[in-house]
Amino acid sequence: KNEVEQSPQNLTAQEGEFITINCSYSVGISALHWLQQHPGGGIVSLFMLSSGKKKHGRLIATINIQEKHSSLHITASHPRDSAVYICAVTPRSSGSARQLTFGSGTQLTVLP
Amino acid sequence: DAGVIQSPRHEVTEMGQEVTLRCKPISGHNSLFWYRQTMMRGLELLIYFNNNVPIDDSGMPEDRFSAKMPNASFSTLKIQPSEPRDSAVYFCASSLYRRGRAWETQYFGPGTRLLVL
């Protein structure tokens, strides 16, 4: 079983829809990250969370440490949001090795 | 700021050849990470440096892979000899690490797409 599980693997939505991508992890963590990988391959860090909620524009990321679960929400989705969204965690056990363990990603396609 | 710079962007080589990937981190950043992305395994951390010193290379697949960071503005990842299963996209990322903080934002380069025939 992977330490980081994402769902769904693929998601197709109509423009304007509210989107939720989920991430569950099985280890204690220092932080959780949401990354966006564009169709051209570039990777952008969206959020880094250790508790609560963060918002940036139409993107909202939440984390529940007790339940070991995080969600990434996109409000009023747009075709330009089409990308792969990747959840990654820093296991607390990594100590000085600030490793990232990645989920397999969610391919989001927003249709006009 | 130019961001993290990687070269080459694309590399096609034949099995057995030596491959060298290069990375220039963001100026002022003190941590540098090498990742590999494949369809089968997704993104994986290969090695990371803090203040030019390799901290954790447990992700390096085997002795054919080596990484160096001779100074704060340059790092290389070398594969010798290369094999077809090394075909992947290799990303370099950098960050500014401050002691006592659990984590920091990593900035990714555009990646090098490697194909070993």
Binning pLDDT at 50, 70 and 90, where does residue A64 land? Answer: very high
- Residues sharing a CB contact under 8 Å with residue B29, sequence separation 6 or more, in sequence order: B94, B95, B96, B107
For residue A35, which residues of chain B lie inside 8 Å, CB to CB? 108
Shortest Cα–Cα distance, A18 to chain B (Å): 26
Sign of CA dihedral B62, B45, B92, B68: negative
Interchain contact B25–A (C-beta under 8 A): no
Mean pLDDT of all residues in chain B?
91
Nearest CA in chain A to B41: A104
Binning pLDDT at 50, 70 and 90, where does residue B106 land? Answer: confident
Residue B7: is its pLDDT beyond 80? yes
